[in-house]
Structure 1
Amino acid sequence: MNLRRFAVGLSALLLFSGVADARGLLSFIAQPIEHELYGSSFSSGDALALYSKQQQQQTFDACAGSFPAARPFDLSKVQGSMRPLALCSDSFAVLYSQTTKTPLVVVERLTASTIKSAKGGERTNVFFPDPRIPKSGRAELIDYKGSSFDRGHQAPAGDAASPNAMAQSFSLSNMVPQDASNNRTTWSKVEADVRKFVLRADGDVFVFTGPIFDDGHRTIGASRVWVPTRLFKLVYDEKSQRAWAYILPNAETRIERPVDYAAFVKQTGLHLLSNLPISGSTR
């Protein structure tokens, strides 16, 4: 897929134009969770029980507060070819693609208080396919096995302020195939730097994280999970109205200085902060 066509198509659609209409309760029964869980066991019932009844609906109603001004993405304006779903968790919202079998954008609202609550939280390390997504549109654990790619969190486990939020962060709907060195070093440093900023911020900080698929991207597994060529993390400080972003290759790399919002839009075509006041960046 041509990156420009994908990015422009998505950017024109990802507008904060109100909460998407509720799509009703899931029309399918959660399938059994299968394959290895790296030392733990997790039934489909256990996985579904992590989510409230409202979170089990494919709508952003339960997590509108994760978005600036409580205005989620309007799914009706997202490219139909992406087969989008709205998924809510306790501490983040996911615009998910049943085509890429990954999130397109994951949104978090962070505060100094939530970061302090998350500090020292015990990682569950129990990855699981999201039972809210039909099997035809989701990644499975076996897709990652032997691929050489990590299951890379988009909303970091280190941001989870409760045990349930921590457990939810290990859903594959919050993952992309990520270069192991990138995930464990460079990207981990990006996540830590964002948390350090949030601790200094005077109010809500919204963080948008997602993959970019350039021409020639590959896939992994029988589910053909798309492998990003690049990753982005966009930070918006609501009170200061500053915004900046990291855009890094999905490879072993050095951390690069963040770019301002205008440069982010130019490089990705993604207008994720449409209609929001922006007065500067980190520099």
Structure 2
Amino acid sequence: MREHAGTSAATPDPSSTTRTGNNAEIFAACPQFFANGQPPVVVHRPTNRALCYDAFAILHSGESKTAVYVAEKLNRASIADADEKRTNKFFPDARLRSGERATLDDYKGSGFDRGHLAPAGDMPTAQAMAQSFSLANMVPQAPEHNRGAWAKTVEAATRKYAGRASGNLYVITGPVFEPSIAQSESIGPGHVHVPKYLFKLVYDQNKNRAWAHWHLNDDTTRGSRPISYAELVKRTGIEFLPGVSPSQ
């Protein structure tokens, strides 16, 4: 997750967004980003929207004006192709209602980075790179954490592991708001909510192993040992891998 200046980028096909409904049906246009085609099981919220992009999928919250989670599928081939030049052109996704999405003004002067959830460094094509700068793929992130521990000990480590894995990795990244979205800090005229924690779940399908990085969204955060999948589910209340029982 790195923050840079930027103003616009091409958005994906507006037809690839939908309200939440049946858990699998909402991502019918991009099931490939989820293990066994099954998205995480989350409580239905009226302002949640599913967004499909070329290299990732987002469940977006109109309450927090950030993602609930962002899902990717990584493997040796995708990492080998992830050598695109950064576009650095951030843009609000026009598929989201104006009152439910972040804008560039929300981050301006906030003191927070626009932190990628699906990292730009994972993107295998120029179009995917451009799409990764959607503000739907951002959260307000402490700058030193974004450019330091998160980038070096979480994102880079995940790419390195994917680059030598024998099969597919399913990676789900998201924010955690405590004590609640409504009570969390927010930035900008649109009140984009600031997460207290960030997590990145990594599931190695071939080995049936899963682990998660869990970081406080703070400039003082340093690297820490991953937590188990069971612990992530306990902390978030979300079943990220429905139908899967990964080994610990």
TM-score (norm 2): 0.89
2:230 aligned with 1:262: yes
2:130 aligned with 1:167: yes
Q: Find the aligned partners of 1:279 and 1:41 in 2 and give their Cα distance.
A: 43
The structure 2 residue matched to 1:111, chosen from 59, 68, 75, is: 75
- Runs of 4+ residues over 4 Å off in structure 1: 56-59
Aligned length: 234
AA in 2 matched with 1:142: D
Query: Where does residue 64 of structure 1 map in the other structure?
Result: 31
Q: Find the aligned partners of 1:134 and 1:204 in 2 and give their Cα distance.
A: 34
Q: 267-276 vs 188-197, which deviates more?
A: 267-276
Alpha-carbon contact 2:40-2:241 (below 8 Å) kept: no
Alpha-carbon contact 1:142-1:221 (below 8 Å) kept: yes
2:99 aligned with 1:131: no
SS at structure 2 position matched to 1:194: helix
2:62 aligned with 1:98: yes
The structure 1 residue matched to 2:241, chosen from 250, 265, 273, is: 273
**Structure 2 unaligned blocks of 5 or more:** 20-25
Q: Find the aligned partners of 2:52 and 2:93 in 1 and give their Cα distance.
A: 11
Deviation for aligned residue 1:57: 5.6
Alpha-carbon contact 2:209-2:247 (below 8 Å) kept: yes
CA offset digits 1:86-116 (Å, max 9, x no partner): 0000000101001100001100011110011
Query: Where does residue 191 of structure 2 map in the other structure?
Result: 224
TM-score (norm 1): 0.78
Q: Find the aligned partners of 1:104 and 1:276 in 2 and give their Cα distance.
A: 20
Alpha-carbon contact 1:78-1:84 (below 8 Å) kept: no
CA offset digits 1:142-164 (Å, max 9, x no partner): 00000000000000000000000
The sequence identity of aligned pairs, in percent, is 46
AA in 1 matched with 2:174: G
Query: Where does residue 149 of structure 1 map in the other structure?
Result: 112
CA offset digits 1:245-265 (Å, max 9, x no partner): 011100021110101112222
CA offset digits 1:26-69 (Å, max 9, x no partner): xxxxxxxxxxx94x664xxx633xx1364356642221111111
Query: Where does residue 140 of structure 1 map in the other structure?
Result: 103
SS at structure 2 position matched to 1:231: strand
Query: Where does residue 22 of structure 2 map in the other structure?
Result: none
